[in-house]
Structure 1
Amino acid sequence: MRTNLLLASLAGATAIAFSFPALSADAAQDFVNKAAVGGMFEVESSNLAGSTAMDNTVKDFATMMVTDHTAANTKLKTVAGEQKLTVPTALDAKHQAMLDKLNGAKGEAFDQAYVQAQRDAHDEAVSLFEDYSQNGANASLKAFATETLPTLKMHQEKIETIASNMGTGGATGSSESTESAAPVPGANSFTEAQAKDRIQNAGYADVSGLAKDDNGVWRGQATKDGKTLSVALDYQGNVTSQAN
C-alpha cells in the first residue's frame, strides 16, 4: 500500500516537473509574440505619422518612436533567436485594423487618432513588460523586459502629456523644450550614450561633457545654429537648453 502511494506521488511530481518547462516556454513565446507585434505597430504607425501628422509635437514624438522601437525590436529579435523562439514578421488582425484606420485619417483627425492609438498601445506595452520583468521565467527575456520598461514608461508619460495638451486646444511647436522650461527632476534611466543620441536627435551637435546631476538630469554642452549652449535631458526625455 505504501509502495503504491509512493509511486503515485513520484508520478505526480514527475508530471508537474515536466509541465513547468512547457508552461514557461509558452509564456515566453507569448511575450515575444505580443512584444514584437506591438513594436512593429509602433514603428509602422509612427512612420506614417512622420509624413501625415500636422502637429510638430506629434511628429517629434513619432520620430522618437521609430528610433526607440526599432532599437528595441532589433534587440528582441536577437534575444528571441538565442532562445530558439519565433518572432512574428507581420501585424496581427487587431493591430492591422488600427493601422488601416490611421491610413484612412487626415489632418487633425489623424493626429487625434494617432495619439489615442499610442496611448492604448503604451498602456498595453507597459503592462506586458512590467508583468514579464517581474514574473517571467526566461532570464534573457526578463532582462530585456526590465531594460526596456523605463523607455516605455517615458513614452507613456510623453504621449499622455501630448494628449492633455491637445485636449486644451492642441499642442503646438516642437517637443524640444525652450529656454524658459526647466528639466523635470526624477530617476533617469537613460545611459550617457542614450542621452547623447536623444540630444542630437533634438537638433544639437557636438554634444560633450555629459554628466548626471543630483536631480537625475543629464547636463552638458552642445552647439546649435552656430551657438554654444548648455543642454539638459530629464528622465521624461525632454531636452532643454540655455545660452552660456
Structure 2
Amino acid sequence: MRRTVLPVLLAAGLCAGPLVPLAVAPAALAQANLRPDPNPRVPPQPGQALPVEDALFLRQAAEASRGQIDLGRLAAEKAPDDAMRTLAARIADTHRKLQDDLKALTGDRKLPPADQLAPERTDALGAAGAVTNPANAASGLAAEAAKTLSGAGGESFGKGYVEAQLRIHDRLVDLYQTEASGTPDRQLATFAITSLVAIQKDRDALRQMAGRFGIHAPAEGQAIQYGDPTRAR
C-alpha cells in the first residue's frame, strides 16, 4: 500500500506533544522523504494489528541495528587506527540506543502475522518502496559487509568499511525518512524523525573520512528525497 502524511499535518501532529524537541523537528521535517499519495493510511483501530509497512519498518530497522553493532565489534579488532575505531564505536552506540527504542516500540504493538511481512516491490508513485522494496533493505547490507570484511585488515579493511557504511547509511536515511513521512502512528513518526539526526550525523562523519581512502563522497549534504522507490538506492 502506498503511504504518506501531508507535511503540514505531520508537523502539526508532532509539535502538539512533548516527544519532539523543537530544535530538532524542523530540520528533520525539512528533509523528510515526502510524496503525494491519494490513499493515505489511517491509524489502526483498537484490536487491529499494526499496518504491514510499519511492522516492516520495525523489523528492518532492528535487523539493521543488530548488523551495525556486529560491524562495530569487527572494527574494534581490525580498524587501521584509533580514528576509525572511535567512529565505528560511535555508530555502534547509535544503534544500541535505536535497538532499545525499537524493542520498546515493538513490544507495545500488535504485529501482523510473520507471513505478511515479506517485502514487495511497489510502483514508482509511492514512497513505501524505501520500506517494502527488498532491493532497498538496509538490514542485510551490514551482515554482508561483516562477512566480506572478516578476512580483511588494516587499510583494506578501512576502505571496505567506509564504502559499506556509506551504502548502509544512505539506505537507513531513506528507511527512516519514509517511515517518518508515511506512518499515521504519531509515536513511530516521532521516533523516526528524531532518530534521523544521529543517523545523518554518523553518515556525515563517514563522508568526511571517505577522502582518506580515495572514496568520492560529499562531506555533508541533504538526505535523499523523491527517488524512485522501485529501484535500489
TM-score band, normalised by shorter chain: 0.5 to 0.7
Name the structure 1 match of 2:80: 54
Name the structure 1 match of 2:162: 115
Name the structure 2 match of 1:156: 203
SS of the residue 1:118 aligns to = helix
CA-CA distance at 1:166 after TM superposition: 2.9
Aligned AA for 1:121?
I
SS of the residue 2:51 aligns to = helix
Q: What per-residue deviation string (whole Å, max 9, x for no partner) do you get for residues 175-225 of structure 1? A: xxxxxxxxxxxxxxxxxxxxxxxxxxxxxxxxxxxxxxxxxxxxxxxxxxx
8 A Cα contact 2:61 2:139, kept in partner: no
Aligned positions of 1:146-185 closer than 5 A: 146-167=193-214
Aligned AA for 2:82?
N
SS of the residue 1:54 aligns to = coil
CA-CA distance at 1:136 after TM superposition: 1.4
Name the structure 1 match of 2:147: 100
Name the structure 2 match of 1:142: 189
Unaligned stretches of 5+ residues in structure 2: 1-38, 115-137, 216-233
Name the structure 2 match of 1:45: 71
Aligned AA for 1:52?
K
CA-CA distance at 1:98 after TM superposition: 2.2
Q: Highest relative contact order (Cα 8 Å, sep 6+), 1 or 2?
A: 2
Q: What per-residue deviation string (whole Å, max 9, x for no partner) do you get for residues 90-118 of structure 1? A: x9655433221011212211111111111
Name the structure 1 match of 2:171: 124
8 A Cα contact 1:126 1:149, kept in partner: yes
Q: 1:66 to 1:152 in 2, by over 3 A?
A: same
Q: 1:143 to 1:55 in 2, by over 3 A?
A: same
* Distance in 2 separating the partners of 1:85 and 1:140: 15
* Distance in 2 separating the partners of 1:36 and 1:53: 25
8 A Cα contact 1:46 1:63, kept in partner: yes
8 A Cα contact 1:45 1:102, kept in partner: no
Larger relative strand fraction: 1
TM-score under structure 2 length normalisation: 0.57
CA-CA distance at 1:122 after TM superposition: 0.6
SS of the residue 2:178 aligns to = helix
Could you say which structure has the larger radius of gyration? 1
CA-CA distance at 1:125 after TM superposition: 0.5
Unaligned stretches of 5+ residues in structure 1: 1-15, 169-244
8 A Cα contact 1:40 1:73, kept in partner: yes
Is 1:78 the equivalent of 2:104? yes
Is 1:32 the equivalent of 2:58? yes
Name the structure 2 match of 1:65: 91
Name the structure 1 match of 2:223: none
Cα RMSD (Å) of the superposition?
Answer: 3.1
Q: 1:138 to 1:92 in 2, by over 3 A?
A: same
